Amino acid sequence: MAHEPIIKVAAISGSLRKASIHHGLIRSAIDLTTDSIDGMSIEHIDISSLPMLNTDLEIDDEFPPEVETFRQKILHSDCFLFASPEYNYTVTAPLKNAIDWASRLPMCGQIKLLLLSVQAAVLVEDCRNPARFDDDGNLVDDEAKEMLKSVLLALKAFTLRLQGSK
Ligand SMILES: Cc1cc2nc3c(=O)[nH]c(=O)nc-3n(C[C@H](O)[C@H](O)[C@H](O)COP(=O)(O)O)c2cc1C
pLDDT at 161: 87
Say whether pLDDT at 124 is over 60: no
Say whether pLDDT at 139 is over 60: yes
Q: Return the best residue to mutate from 27, 86, 132 for the ligand 1 pocket (most ligand atoms within 8 A of CB).
A: 86
Q: Which of 13-17, 86-90, 114-118 is modeled with the greatest confidence?
A: 13-17
Confidence of residue 130 (pLDDT cuts 50, 70, 90): confident
Distance from residue 15's CA to the centre of ligand 1 (Å):
9
pLDDT at 116: 58
Atom of ligand 1 nearest to the CA of 14: 26
Ligand 1 neighbours by CB, cut-off 6 Å: 15, 17, 20-22, 85-89, 130
Burial category of 158 from C-beta neighbours within 10 Å (exposed 0-12, middle 13-18, buried 19 and up): middle
* Ligand 1 atom 24: residue of nearest CA: 20
Question: What is the CATH code for 11-163?
Answer: 3.40.50.360
* Ligand 1 atom 14: residue of nearest CA: 87
Edge-to-edge strand list for the sheet holding 79-83: 40-44, 7-13, 79-83
**30-52: pLDDT as tens digits:** 999 999 999 999 999 999 999 99
Domain boundaries, the chain: 11-163
* Ligand 1 atom 18: residue of nearest CA: 85
Contact 44, 158 (CB under 8 A): no
- Cα→Cα distances 40→5, 51, 59, 65, 105, Å: 8, 30, 36, 28, 28
Rounded Cα gap, residues 127 and 81, in angstroms:
14
Q: Where are the beta strands (DSSP E) in the chain?
A: 7-13, 40-44, 79-83
Rounded Cα gap, residues 122 and 93, in angstroms:
18
Note the pTM of the prediction, 2 decimals: 0.89
159-165's contacts with Cβ under 8 Å and 24+ in sequence apart are 159/7, 159/78, 159/79, 160/7, 162/79, 162/113, 163/78, 165/5
**66-81: pLDDT as tens digits:** 999 999 999 889 988 8
Contact 94, 47 (CB under 8 A): yes
Confidence of residue 110 (pLDDT cuts 50, 70, 90): low
pLDDT at 95: 93
CA nearest to 104, candidates 143, 151, 67, 49:
67
